[in-house]
Amino acid sequence: MASVSQKPNSPYWMGKFRDDQGVVRMRSTKQRNRRDAMRVVMTWEDAAVKARQGELTQTAVLKTLSEMSERTTGEAIQVQSVSDFFEEWLESKATVGKAPTTVARYRPVLRGFLDFIGKHRAQGGIKAVVPTEIERFRDHQIKLGKSATTANHAVRVLKAVFNTARRRGLALSNPAEAVELLQADAEEKNTFSREQVAALLKVADQEWRGMILLGFHTGIRLHDAANLTWENLDLQENVLRFEAEKTSRRAKRCDRETIIYVHLDLIKYFLDLPAGDEPSQPLFPTLSGLTSGSHGGLSNRFGRLMREAKIDAEPGDKKSGKGRQFNALSFHSMRHTFISNLANAGVSLDVRKKVVEQSSDEIHQRYTHLDVSVQKQAIEQMDSVL
C-alpha cells in the first residue's frame, strides 16, 4: 500500500510504493504538501500495477503523466485521441478550401485506418501511433484487393495528417515517414479517337451529346460539366466561364474562374437548345446534382454509353475484394484527349496549361499523348549529318 513520510530536515515528502517488479521503492515526491505527495505516490503505484498486469500502454503512460503534470503544475499534457484529431484534420481541410471531392477521398482512408487499429486504439492519443501500425494498414489494403497505388495513397494521406500533428506539437514525430511506399506500375488513361467520339455521340441522348462535346472540346471534368448553368455560357463572346470544383478553392480569388473559348461544334449544340428561363437553370437538368461515382452516378452512366457504342473501356489488372477497377478509357479520358489534341496541333505548353488550369508541368505531362505524326514532323526538320 502506498504511503508517504518525511525525513528530518527535509521539506519534501518521501513516497513508498511497489514498482512494476513488486519491489518496495522509496522516492522523493518533490512535494512539500502531504496531500499532494500522496497523490503522486498513488499515481506511481497505479502505473506499476498496470505494468505488472500488462496494461501499461503508451496511451496509459501519457494519461498518467498528464494527470501528474496537472496535479503538480496545474497544466495537463495536451493529449488528443487519434479519432478526434482525424475528424478535426478533415474539417480543417474543408475550411482552407480543399475541394469536397478531395476531402471525400481522404475520409475513407482515415476511417479505414481507425477501423483497422480498433476502437480502443482509436481513442488513444495521437502520439501513441507507431510506424508498424501504418505499415500493417498499408499491407491490409493489398489484402483487401486494392492496388499498390491505392495503398500508397493511403500512406500519403496519413503522412499529411501526422505531419500536421507534429507541427502542432501533438506528436513528437511523423510515424508515416518511416513507412516505405510499395512499388506500383502506373496505370494511365488513354485518349479517345475521333471515331470513338462519333460512336458515342450517335448513341447519346441530347444531354449526353452536350456532355461529350464539352469533354472533347474543353477538357472539362465530369462533375463540373454536369453542373453548368446558362449563366456559365456566354454565346456573345463564345466562351464558357465556371469555377472548377477541384481547383478553384485553392486559387487566388482573381484566378478562380476558368474561361474557355467555345468550339463551333458546341456553339451549334447550344443554339439548338431551348434557352433556359433563368440564368441559374442547369444546362443538363437530368444530370445536374448527380454524384460522379456510385451506382447510377455520372461515371456509371457514361460507362453504359461506352458499352452501347461498343467501345472497350480497356480495364487494367483485374481487382478483387474492395479494389476499384481501373479503366484506361472513361469520361476523364476526354480531358487527356483535349490536352493531347492541343499539343498535337502545336499549341504551346503555357497556353495548354492555362486552358485546363493545370499549374504543374509534371501533372500536365501525364495528360499529354503526342501523336507519332507530330514526332515525325519535328524529326524531319532536323539537319542530316550524312
Q: For every one of its 386 residues, what pLDDT tens digit does the chain have, with 9 covering 90 and above?
A: 789 998 888 889 898 988 877 888 888 888 888 888 888 888 888 878 877 766 555 555 555 655 655 555 555 555 688 999 999 999 988 777 666 777 888 999 999 999 999 998 898 888 889 999 999 999 999 898 888 888 999 999 999 999 999 998 888 889 999 999 988 665 678 889 999 999 999 999 999 999 999 999 988 999 999 999 999 999 888 888 988 887 655 555 546 788 888 889 999 999 998 876 788 899 999 999 898 776 778 999 999 999 999 998 877 655 554 545 668 889 999 998 888 888 888 877 777 777 777 666 666 676 776 666 665 666 566 564 54
State residue 298 phi and psi, 5-degree precision: -60, -45
Say if 82-178 and 194-377 have the same CATH topology.
Answer: no
Q: Which CATH superfamily is domain 82-178 in?
A: Tyrosine recombinase, N-terminal domain (1.10.150.130)
Kindly tell me the sign of the dihedral angle through the C-alpha atoms of 15, 18, 23, 24. positive
Unique residue bearing C-alpha cell 522516492: 27
pLDDT of residue 64: 61
Buried (b) or exposed (e) across 83-103, using 16+ Cβ within 10 A? bebbeebbeebeeeebbeebe
Contact status, residue 220 vs residue 232, Cβ threshold 8 Å: no
Cβ-count burial of 1 within 10 angstroms (0-12 exposed, 13-18 middle, 19+ buried)?
A: exposed
Please name the helix (run of DSSP H) or strand (run of DSSP E) that holds residue 17, with its range, or none.
strand 13-18
- Among candidates 344, 311, 310, which has minimal Cα distance to 329? 311
CA-to-CA separations, 353 to 81, 255, 261, in angstroms, rounded: 42, 13, 14
pLDDT of residue 347: 79
pLDDT of residue 362: 66
Contact status, residue 214 vs residue 220, Cβ threshold 8 Å: yes
What does the alpha-carbon distance between residue 208 and residue 212 come to, in Å, rounded to a whole number?
A: 6
Taking the alpha carbons at both ends of the chain, their separation in whole angstroms is: 98
| The three cell numbers locating residue 220 | 472539362
CATH no. for 194-377: 1.10.443.10
Unique residue bearing C-alpha cell 502505473: 47
Unique residue bearing C-alpha cell 486559387: 251
What is the DSSP secondary-structure string of 117-151?
HHHHHHTSBGGG--HHHHHHHHHHHHHTT--HHHH
Q: What is the pTM of this model?
A: 0.57
pLDDT of residue 375: 56
pLDDT of residue 386: 42
Q: Domain segments of the chain: what residues?
A: 3-73, 82-178, 194-377
What does the alpha-carbon distance between residue 110 and residue 320 come to, in Å, rounded to a whole number?
A: 22
- Among candidates 10, 48, 9, which has minimal Cα distance to 31? 10
